[in-house]
Amino acid sequence: MKKVLILTTSTGQGHNQAANSLTETFIENGYEVVKYDFLYNNSKFLNKIIVSGYEISATKFPKLYGLLFYHLTDFKYINTALKLSFGLNDRKLLRYINSVNPDIIIGTHSFSVNIISRLKKNKLINIPFISVITDFKAHYTYISQYVDAYIAGSSYTKEHLISRGIDENKIFTFGIPIKKEFYTIDSEVAFTKDSQYFNILLMSGSMGLSNIFYVLKELLKNKHKLRITVVCGKNTTLKKKLLSLYSKPIENKKVHVLGYTNDIPSIMDYCDIVISKPGGLTVTESIAKKLPIVIPFAIPGQEIENTEFLLQNKCAIYVNNLNDINKEMDKLIENPDILNIMKKRLQELGKNFSVDNIVKLSDKLIKKVIYKKIHN
């Protein structure tokens, strides 16, 4: 049985969700799978600094995060600089890799590129390594000649990787890995859809950004009949606040408040649009469901770049001022052709998405290593 080691970490849940999707698909294809949080297990101190630092800066000080943690680190020699932070973890991860003895390694976080590339450069391992890019532009922490293959979310991502010196033959536009449920339609849910209401999925990301409180407040002023499903993620305080404020009936509005849920694929089948911050996984899920996206806020850095990707492909609307969100809603509700055009563009974007193709690529890379061993 072939074995894959999937390296992830918890700076936002997108990396873990991609790892979970890969885990499910590789098991279905007969692989033994080992999923490993390389930061948490190798350095509790470093994990706390990086993960907590990301969560605090991204939610409380997003502009500071975008400037200091994203843009100022997005330069060519960042991986050399990161050696100072991750160098001590090389041996720990090497020992773990040797104990697992995988046939292939897949990283769903850019920091794994830094460590694995150094181990390969020093000839301490000779195992194929795939890097999954979980946004639509590749930060320089992803860039390395020692990555055997890149999984990209689109041709837009591919072009950006090529501009940063990556061989185009190493780049595969199979899409960011998501649950397979996003590629199917729940016909029962679609059948029960209330066509008298315009159905909105309002999401705040896994961390539950409180910005959606202000979005909901504006939407409830809209003149049309709206059914709004609000997903608060892990923000229990936000959930309680919304349940308290909107427990009574509101004329021409239906509000359903949820916490963290695994039912997003079915909820998307019921909805006409999704209003959300543009995380890489959320964008990919919306593309797979052909569900147009309205973006009322984005964390500076990768989410602004994801927004640029969507706007360039004319399949999303960015609301720069929350006071304008109902104006944009009215356009979509009163002009269904606009939504249909956006759906067709989303369908085109997602036509090459396939988690199964990542397994097939892994098979090829493993066979290539075996062939070299036999003939050397």
Q: What is the pLDDT of residues 319-348, one digit of tens each?
A: 999 999 999 999 999 999 999 999 999 999
Are both 61 and 206 inside the same structural domain? no
Question: Would you report the helix, strand and coil content of the chain in percent, each value rounded to 5?
Answer: 50, 15, 35
106-163 pLDDT, tens digit per residue, is 999 998 999 999 999 999 999 999 999 999 999 999 999 999 999 999 999 999 999 9
Q: Residue 264 pLDDT > 60, yes or no?
A: yes
Q: How many structural domains are present in the chain? A: 2
309: domain CATH number is: 3.40.50.2000
Are both 170 and 194 inside the same structural domain? no
39: domain CATH number is: 3.40.50.2300
Report how far Cα 348 is from the mean position of its chain's Cα atoms: 19
- Cβ atoms of 170 and 144 within 8 Å: the answer is no
**Who contacts 56 (Cβ-Cβ below 8 Å, separation ≥6)?**
none
- Per-residue pLDDT averaged across 350-354, rounded? 94
Query: Which domain range does residue 120 map to?
Result: 3-175+353-374
**Position with higher pLDDT, 355 vs 87:** 355
- Cβ atoms of 271 and 290 within 8 Å: the answer is no
**Among candidate residues 125, 198, 172, the one with its CA nearest the CA of residue 352:** 172
- Cβ atoms of 233 and 204 within 8 Å: the answer is yes
Q: Which two tokens stand for residue 14?
A: 């997108």
Are both 56 and 86 inside the same structural domain? yes
Going from the C-alpha of 202 to that of each of 28, 50, 154, 212, 255, the distances in angstroms are 32, 28, 25, 7, 10
The pTM of this model reads: 0.91
According to DSSP, the β-strands at 293-295 and 316-318 are parallel
DSSP character string of 195-263:
TTSEEEEEE-TTTT-TTHHHHHHHHTT-SS-EEEEEE-TT-HHHHHHHHHHT-S-BTTEEEEEE-S-S-
Q: Residue 283: enclosing H or E segment and its boundaries? A: helix 280-288
- Cβ atoms of 113 and 86 within 8 Å: the answer is no
